[in-house]
Amino acid sequence: MALITLGVNHTTAPVDLREQVAFDSVRLPDALAQLLEQFPGVREVVILSTCNRTELFLAVDGEVEPEVMAWLASYHGLLTNELEPHIYVFEQLRAVQHMMRVAAGLDSLILGEPQILGQFKEAIRFSRKAHAMGPELEQALGKVLSVAKRIRTETAIGRNSVSVAYAAVTLAGRIFSDLSACKVVLIGAGETIRLVAEYLCGHHVRNIDVVNRTLENAETLATEIDGSAWPLGALANRILQADIVISSTGSAIPILGKGLVERAQKCRRHKPMFIVDLAVPRDVETQVGDLDSVYLYTVDDLNAVVEEGLEQRQEAACHAEELISEEVANWTRHIRGHRAVETIRALREIHLDISEKELFRALKSLESGKPAVEVMSQLSRNLTNKFLHMPTVVLRSAAEQGDLLLIESAARLFAVDNAEESD
């Protein structure tokens, strides 16, 4: 059997194509079943599908890549030639190396992002539930998860902010010891605010208001995070209890002024308020930062944090790549050792059969009354001759053909000292 990785990601396919070949949790069991039923060469399969990639991890017999690629296109209503230019395929050790890089966040759009490891584990869980995993993928993916965990533990790959959304939540965590107890107001409902909401939910923040000019968009995001949606006109009332306010809209003028925040702080008895303005142009008047107990950060402030974090993550990524190379080398030795297992087993069985037959003859000779010394001497000669018969024939043939490499290998195998060569 062979290991195969086949898929598309953010570096090989545009977002509209990635969206078309994605698998949601409802269709995933059916897709796994189809792959196993339609292709006898596919023994085991795991499907990893996120917004930035769709990848199939396969244990296969023979060459099945063209058929699987055609199936992937057909399953999503595409032509094979539409998908093929964007597909990558890795085999064996290269496939394992790629899986390790993916699970560790080294192949992500945001270097070192932590969500991919959870998505990887979820993909494995789905495959197990569908009985689509077997010993080969269990072993390979177990190793992959182990390496990803080691990278998270031994490097700083996930310890620094590399997006303004993540940096905003990270800074909030430095000001408030328990983010989950905070009241949060998000202004806007675009992609940046969505990322902020995702990170907040990752810190178990549940008390979130989404305020937006278009209420429908606010309601969509609020439903996803189990929050509350409000029109922009309700902003003054919503910030009265807000510990954290994060804004990112397309407004041409500030929508959160000093007077609005000042009144809110009086009602809050000047408890700390953390405000992050991720918009360009700014959503928050600069004078807000002059207020006591208000911590105001702009996108420029966070960009400095992001640049520093990205540099540190890139350094950590170099260390992570070294760890992966080390683990792939270990995997290589494992595979090579496994290849010898069957040969060693067969060799033992052949010689055990010879030994048992010769022992049977020796016991018969002893029963007939032959002297034990004579019988044992004959047994020793017979075993030596039969054990060495085939190696002797092969080595003589190698010598006649000038195959010195085989002769040298045999000398190493049997620990024969050939230091002194005859004239």
> In whole angstroms, how large is the CA radius of gyration of the chain?
33
Locate 367 and state its tokens. Answer: 């029963």
Angle made by CA atoms 209, 214, 216, in degrees to the nearest 5: 75
Contacts of 320 (CB under 8 A, 6+ apart): 104, 106, 151, 155, 157
Residue 118: CA atoms inside 13 Å, Cβ hemisphere, count?
A: 4
318 is catalytic: no
For residue 131, count other CB atoms closer than 10 A to its CB: 11
CA–CA separation, 89 and 212 (whole Å): 44
Report CA torsion sign: 192, 204, 217, 255.
Answer: negative
CA–CA separation, 131 and 315 (whole Å): 40
CB of 226 within 8 A of CB of 206? yes
For residue 279, count other CB atoms closer than 10 A to its CB: 23
Residue type, 208: I
CB of 233 within 8 A of CB of 187? no
Place of tokens 């990205």: 310
CA–CA separation, 365 and 343 (whole Å): 33
CA–CA separation, 217 and 21 (whole Å): 26
User: What angle do the packed helices 299-367 and 372-401 form, to 10 degrees?
Assistant: 130
Residue 283: CA atoms inside 13 Å, Cβ hemisphere, count?
A: 25
CB of 62 within 8 A of CB of 47? no
Report CA torsion sign: 286, 290, 296, 298.
Answer: positive
Report CA torsion sign: 234, 239, 242, 243.
Answer: positive
User: 3-class SS at 60?
Assistant: strand
Sort strands 228-231 and 208-212 into parallel, antiparallel or unpaired.
parallel
Return the active site residues.
51
